[in-house]
Amino acid sequence: MTTTSLRLRAGLVSIVLLAAFLGIWHLATRSAGPTTAMSPEYAKLMGLTATQGKSAMPGPLDVGAKLWEHLRRPFYDNGPNDKGLGIQLGYSIARVGMGYLLAVLVAIPLGFLIGMSPLLSKALDPFIQVLKPISPLAWMPLALYTIKDSSISAIFVIFICSIWPMLLNTVFGVASVRKEWINVARTLEVGTLRRAFTVILPAAAPTILTGMRISIGIAWLVIVAAEMLVGGTGIGYFVWNEWNNLSITNVIIAILLIGVVGMLLDQILARFTRMVTFPE
Amino acid sequence: MSIFDNPFDPDRSLRAGCACGQHQSAAEHEQATALRCDPVESEEKRYEGVVASAVMRAMFPQDLARRAFLKSVGASTALAALSQFFPLQTATEVFAQAGTPEKKDLKVGFIPITCATPIIMAAPLGFYSKHGLNVDVVKTAGWAVVRDKTINKEYDAAHMLAPMPLAISLGLGSNPVPFAVPAIENINGQGITLAMKHKDKRDPKDWKGMKFAIPFDYSMHNYLLRYYLAEHGIDPDTDVQLRSVPPPEMVANLRADNIDGFLAPDNICQRAIYDGVGFMHLLSKEIWDGHPCCSFAASREFITTAPNSFAALTRAIVDATAYASKAENRKQIAEAIAPANYINAPVTVLEQVLTGTYADGLGGVKTDAKRVDFDPFPWQSFAVWMLTQMKRWGQIKGDVDYKAVAEQVYLATDTRKLMTEMGLTPPTSAYKSFAVMGKTFDPAKPEDYVASFKIKKAS
């Protein structure tokens, strides 16, 4: 069996699964027809759910139509509270980028230091272990209260949540560079700085990048929740705004897009990881 | 006599007593009509009238002398003669502009409910720009976020629940920061909505063990629901569960059967009906007709650093409120505030709330033109009532100087001055008595009022 035919078959199964899912979804959300008799005057004041027995859950056709509508004009701007999906995603990605970049700038040098010093590694471990499992949203009130600016708070929350996997992976990667390599470097009288960049960094790079890949996933998870809370702009705000209007159709579209963007971010990091991985 | 009387009318009665003849004195007449603030045909006309009458009065301080002059030449001639040597046009313009705002680009936060109608509609209908401001109205996720963003100065002013500025000033639930309320947003306009399964359980005495949602702890909704329940012998702290739930989640929770009902701001009540998950048990108007709900609030700091911006904002809000108080404008307003940029709700729902012709969720169509109404005047007696309820339910511990707090936060005097300048008729007093479920509240005796309730939180 060749790989191409395996791929083909996997693709076919994926399509069948998708079709089955959409079909069941469509059937499950069909409208039940007029429910109870109402005076026309009253019915005019009521929504479709009440009059037509329309399911509160939108069907795949509703979602598809709405998605097409959004994709046709992704960058409209109707004022501060209503912008196109493209703009909202842009805001979210920019926030994630800022927080994530800050986290990279802090976590990797710090991880290097900790990883190269067993003493620091042991001393800082309890703090890291306590701070690591804190939910991003638990930081939010504290951040809002101390920073007093909601957009910086959101970035801070991204920063604080995406820093730990990177830090831990860097520490682990640096600490577990093979002793022989370091000893060889030492025998050749390579300086500390040069040793760090030419021996340890390439050896630890795959582990560090794995940490970065986990972090970007977390950062993207956090941004949606943070924006729902802080509001203003971003895809999280879009979800909240449509939830306000009980427009489940738009919420589903947002969920879909969040998934797609998350996947893209992950793929980018995966590509970087492959670039620095080498066979031993 | 008041500045709103037409001094060009030679037939105006000079007797003591009021213009309509139904009241003992002019003061009593004003009291009776105080709740309404009908705007005059157009803004320019109104200012022109105010300026012209001031000039006319200055020239003929004696009522009788002015009258004789008017009788002999006629009102229009008099006005024409006046404008010959006094630049009425320029004076009116100068008057209407007031001071230039220190800060033109402002951010005002709001929660997407119909209570915020004046704040929201002032943007699409141009009330802010008319007063020389460039305002971004920013939708916000919840009351706590509005509070924090206003305290943090991300917002210059905001839509808040009427008790919130009192709570913030007193430091309840946040650091104490002096806040002020120049205008009430809306009166009435809330409702108790119950899940469809309770449609035969209309007597509150049967509500023991039920779960209700309210939008925020420091809200009129909380106090009104507690009041209503307590009047029916239900202790809101022990017999039922009250939960703070953000308004949009109320409908979803009602559908999911997590709560049995809520006292919520409108468009949420009507939305539950529109989606067929609940019915209107009672309009809040039936608990207390004319109760305040939401307010327009700003920090003292903003008011002192940018007094002209603040005055212009208040003028815009008062203007918008006056416009919204007219029934014939309500449909247009519903359409203006429905898009995703503002409330983000179906137009039908907003129309039902604002016009007062609504489906009650049980198959009937009801009409109540005063379901929601708009009146900007910040009665200090409203503030005193809210403080009595905070005290009653244990939110305030210890003694509280009701009058001092009310007067510090609710800016009745400043708003009265502003409304007068705008040619509106504000009430002359900042305190009025009113009845909540038939029980009269005397703002002069808040302590006795608190003591008079059987059900309250033991402190």
pLDDT in tens, B93-103: 555 556 788 88
The Cα B248–Cα B259 span in angstroms is: 14
Q: Is the pLDDT of residue B2 over 50?
A: no
pLDDT for res B40? 45
Residues of A whose CB is below 8 A from B152: 144, 148-150
Q: Is the pLDDT of residue A157 over 80?
A: yes
How far B195 CA sits from the closest chain A CA (Å)? 14
Among B138, B154, B251, the residue with its CB nearest the CB of A246 is: B251
Structure tokens at A207: 């582990």
The answer as to whether A250 is a domain residue is yes
Q: Could B141 and A38 be called an inter-chain contact, meaning their C-beta atoms sit closer than 8 Å?
A: no
Could you tell me which residues come within 8 angstroms of residue A74 by beta carbon, excluding any fewer than 6 positions away?
A84, A85, A86, A87
Query: In percent, how much of chain A has pLDDT > 90?
Result: 28
Predicted local distance difference test score (pLDDT) of residue B31: 53
High-pLDDT (> 70) share of chain A, %: 95
Q: Is the pLDDT of residue B198 over 70?
A: yes
Of B248, B352, B364, the CB nearest to A244: B248
Looking at the domain assignment, is residue A166 inside a domain?
yes
Chain B positions in Cβ-Cβ contact with residue A224 (cut-off 8 Å)? none
Give the mean pLDDT of B436-447.
Answer: 91
**CB–CB of B359 and A42 under 8 A?**
yes
Give a yes or no: residue A12 inside a domain: no
- Residue contact A45–B145, C-beta within 8 A: no
> What is the pLDDT, as a whole number, of residue B45?
63
Chain B residues within an 8 Å CB radius of A66: none
Assess B138–A contact: CB distance below 8 Å, yes or no: yes
B241 - beta bridge partners?
Answer: B211
Tell me which residue in B149, B252, B363 faces A42 most closely, judged by beta carbons: B363
pLDDT over 90 (residue A21): yes
Is residue A38 in some structural domain?
no
Contacts of A242 in chain B (CB under 8 A): 344
Q: Do B346 and A47 touch (CB under 8 A)?
A: yes
CA A144, A150, A155 angle in degrees (round to 5)?
95
Question: Of B145, B274, B346, which is closest to A231 when you measure between CB atoms?
Answer: B145
Residue B24 has pLDDT above 50, yes or no: yes
How much is the average pLDDT of A170-183? 87
Q: Is residue A204 part of a domain?
A: yes
What 8-state DSSP symbol labels residue B429? -
The domain that holds A85 is classified in CATH as: 1.10.3720.10
pLDDT of B35 higher than 50: no
Contact between chains at B276 and A241 (C-beta distance less than 8 A)? no
B276 contacts A82? CB cut-off 8 A: no
B348 vs A45: CA distance, rounded Å: 6
pLDDT-derived band of residue B82, with 50, 70 and 90 as boundaries?
low
Interface test with A, best of B105, B152, B352 (most A CBs within 10 A): B152
Average pLDDT for chain B: 83
pLDDT of residue B457: 83
CB A238 within 8 A of CB A250: yes
Q: Which residue of chain A comes nearest to B113, CA vs CA?
A: A244
Residues on chain B touching A145 (C-beta within 8 angstroms): 148
Q: For A220-262, how does the pLDDT look when each residue is reduced to its tens digit (9 = 90+)?
A: 988 888 888 776 788 988 888 888 778 888 899 999 999 999 9
Tell me how close the Cα of A200 comes to any Cα of chain B, in angstroms.
Answer: 46
- The pLDDT tens digits for B327-376 are 889 999 999 999 888 888 889 999 999 999 999 888 889 999 889 999 89
Chain B CB contacts of A80 below 8 Å:
136-139, 341
CB atoms within 10 A of CB B378: 27
Residue B105, SS3 per DSSP: strand
Q: B136 at the A interface (CB within 8 A)? A: yes
The count of other CB atoms within 10 Å of the CB of residue A7 is 10
**Average pLDDT over every residue of A121-144:** 85
Q: Which two tokens stand for residue B68?
A: 């004789």
Which residues in chain A have their CB less than 8 angstroms from residue B136's CB?
Answer: 79-80
β-bridge partners, B440: B435
Q: How confident is the model at residue A101 (pLDDT cuts 50, 70, 90)?
A: very high
Determine, yes or no, domain membership for A23: no
Question: CB-CB: which of A78, A80, A240 is closest to B138?
Answer: A80
pLDDT at residue B210, rounded to an integer: 92
Tokens for A79, please give them: 């004022």
ipTM score above 0.85:
no
* Chain B residues touching residue A42 (CB < 8 angstroms): 359, 363-365
Shortest Cα distance from B109 to chain A (angstroms)? 10
| Residues 6+ positions from B225 with CB-CB distance below 8 Å | B192, B212, B214, B236, B242, B263
Q: What is the pLDDT of residue B296?
A: 93
Which residues 226-285 of chain B have a CB within 8 Å of chain A? 248-249, 251-252, 255, 271, 273-276
Segment B275-317, tens digit of pLDDT: 888 999 999 999 999 999 999 999 999 999 999 999 999 999 9
Q: Is it the case that residue B37 has pLDDT exceeding 50?
A: no
**Which residues of A are less than 8 Å from B112 in CB distance?**
244
CA distance A80 to B134: 13
Inter-chain CB proximity B275 and A246 less than 8 Å = yes
Look at A62-66, A177-181, B76-80, B423-427 and tell me which has the smallest mean pLDDT: B76-80
Can you give the three-state secondary structure of B354-410, one letter per residue?
A: HHCEEECCCCCEEECCCCEECCCCCCHHHHHHHHHHHHHCCCCCCCCCHHHHHHHHE
Kindly identify which residue of chain A lies nearest to residue B109, measuring between CA atoms.
A232
Among partner residues B112, B252, B339, which is closest to A78 by beta-carbon distance? B339
pTM (two decimals): 0.77
State the nearest Cα–Cα gap between A134 and chain B, in angstroms. Answer: 22
Domain range for residue A67? 58-276
Neighbouring C-alpha atoms within 13 Å toward the C-beta of B371: 29
Q: Which residue of A has its CA nearest to B270?
A: A46
Cα–Cα distance measured from residue B211 to residue B188, given in angstroms and rounded to the nearest whole number: 23
Query: Which pair of structure tokens corresponds to residue B112?
Result: 């997407």
pLDDT tens-digit readout, B132-190: 899 999 988 888 889 988 998 889 999 999 999 999 999 887 788 999 999 998 899 89
Q: How far is A221 from chain B (nearest CA, A)?
A: 19
Q: What per-residue confidence (pLDDT) applies to B156?
A: 93
pLDDT at position A195, please? 82
* More confident position, B214 or A145: B214
Write down the pLDDT at residue B424.
86
A14 in a domain, yes or no? no
Neighbours of A177 (CB within 10 A): 20
Q: Is residue A229 part of a domain?
A: yes
Give me the total of CB pairs closer than 8 Å, taking one residue from chain A and one from chain B.
Answer: 100
CA B340 to chain centre: 24
pLDDT of residue B97: 56
CA A43 to each of CA B120, B128, B297, B355: distance values in angstroms, whole numbers, following the listed order: 29, 37, 39, 17
How many domains, chain A?
Answer: 1
Interface test with chain A among B154, B199, B253, by most A beta carbons within 10 Å: B154
Strands B211-214 and B241-244: parallel
Which residues does chain B have within 8 Å of residue A150's beta carbon, measured at their own beta carbons?
A: 145, 149, 152, 154
